[in-house]
Structure 1
Amino acid sequence: MRGPDLVEGPVEIVLDDGTVARSERFVVALCTCRRSRIYPWCDTSHRPRERAVPPSEDRSPT
C-alpha cells in the first residue's frame, strides 16, 4: 500500500470531470489510493484501521 504524494503548493489540479481543485497551502498531500473522502487531497484513509478492543476483565485467581 502506498501513501500520498507530497507536492509543494500552491496547487491547482484538473479532475477527470473537468472541475478544478485548488489549494494555497505550502505543501499538499495528494491522494494516490482514491479512498479519501476529500479526494484529490489525502485524508489518511489509506492507513490500516485498528479496531478498538474493550479492556479485558481482570481474571486473576482469588
Structure 2
Amino acid sequence: MPDDQSAPAATITPYRDGPLLVRGDFALVTPEGEPIAARRGTVALCRCGKSAIKPFCDGTHKVADFRAP
C-alpha cells in the first residue's frame, strides 16, 4: 500500500484452489489492449485455465481438481 495508507482502487484476493476475486475500480483488457466488459464491481478470474468463459471463472476448477494455495 502507498505510504499515505489510502485505500487501493482495487483489491485482488486469490482463493485457495479457486479464482482470483477482483473488487473495486478496475479495467480488464486483452493483451492487445481491447476492453473486456466486467459488468460488475466484483469479478472472479480463472486461475486454472479450464474455464469456458475466460478470463472469468465458471467453476470448472472444482471438476479439474485445480490446486493452488
- TM over 0.5, shorter chain: yes
Q: Which residue of 1 aligns with 2:42?
A: 27
Q: How many residue pairs align between the two structures?
A: 49
Q: Percent of aligned pairs with the same residue?
A: 39
Unmatched tracts of structure 1, length 5 or more: 50-62
Task: Kindly provide the CA deviation profile for residues 4-60 of structure 1, in whole angstroms up to 9, marking residues without a partner as x.
Answer: 0101145432223554312131210011111000000000010127xxxxxxxxxxx
The residue correspondences of 1:41-60 to structure 2 (distance < 5 A) are 41-48=56-63
Structure 2-normalised TM-score?
A: 0.54
Residue 8 of structure 1 corresponds to which residue in structure 2? 23
Q: Which has the higher helix share?
A: 2
Give unpaired runs (5+ residues) of structure 2.
Answer: 1-15, 65-69
Corresponding residue for 1:60?
Answer: none
Larger-gyration structure (1/2): 1
**Could you tell me how far 1:2 is from its partner in structure 2?**
2.4
* Cα distance in 2, alignment partners of residues 37 and 11 from structure 1: 22
RMSD: 2.3
